[in-house]
Amino acid sequence: MQANDWAPEHCRALQDYLALGMSFAEIAREINARFGTAYSRNAAISRSKRMKLTAPKRAARPQPRLRIKAETSPKSGEIPSQRPVRPAAAPTPPVTRAEPVKLRCVGISPRLVSLIELEPSACRYPYGGDKDDEPITFCGHPQLPGSSYCAPHFQLTRGPGTESERAVAPVPLRLVQAA
């Protein structure tokens, strides 16, 4: 329900509930139950602001107090001091160093050929372009038959699994005749 659709009796109920010190969530629930509406908490807040209503100050929630634990002396049984007992913190796991990431690389020295100089049978594995104004160059070594890459880069670009696991199934297309 939109905020502009508030009926006068809904506005009066909002005003009455605010005077009782109810929260906006409680007010929205009460108005919805009473009038069969679907106002949200935010709708009640917005409507009260447009009506220039202010909610009465609510009492701050009291902070939980720390319990005082009396310690007894092992010899005389008297209480030497009283200290607040803090809740026990969960034990922190020991810090372990992460293994350094092993970068995938190949033992080949790329020719760093530009796109214009790249021959049709040359490896198209890209290098560079990571930084601003850094040119993108390509490996340029002879391609592996049936691939765009040389043998070392072909192995580098293949993920785990067999070829059949990596193969993509063909997408069937259905021809539809235009009406």
Answer whether residue 7 shows pLDDT above 50.
Answer: yes
Nearest CA among 171, 118, 128, 173 for reference residue 149:
118
* Band of residue 171 on the pLDDT scale cut at 50, 70, 90: low
User: What pLDDT score was predicted for residue 168?
Assistant: 61
Within 13 Å, how many C-alpha atoms sit on residue 153's CB side?
A: 21
Q: How far apart are the first and last CA of the chain?
A: 44
* Band of residue 69 on the pLDDT scale cut at 50, 70, 90: low
Q: What is the largest CA-CA distance in the chain?
A: 103
Helix (H, G, I), strand (E, B) or coil at 50: helix
The mean pLDDT of 18-45, rounded to a whole number, is 91
Count of helix runs (H) and strand runs (E) in the chain: 5, 4
Cβ partners under 8 Å of residue 92, min gap 6: none
Please give the single-letter amino acid code of residue 2: Q
The mean pLDDT of 57-84, rounded to a whole number, is 58
Are 53 and 15 a contacting pair, CB within 8 Å?
yes
Beta bridge partner(s), residue 99: none
Please give the single-letter amino acid code of residue 144: L
Are 32 and 43 a contacting pair, CB within 8 Å?
no
pLDDT tens-digit readout, 88-111: 666 777 767 767 656 567 778 888
* Band of residue 1 on the pLDDT scale cut at 50, 70, 90: very low
Beta bridge partner(s), residue 122: 142
More confident residue, 51 or 62: 51
- Would the pTM count as exceeding 0.75? no
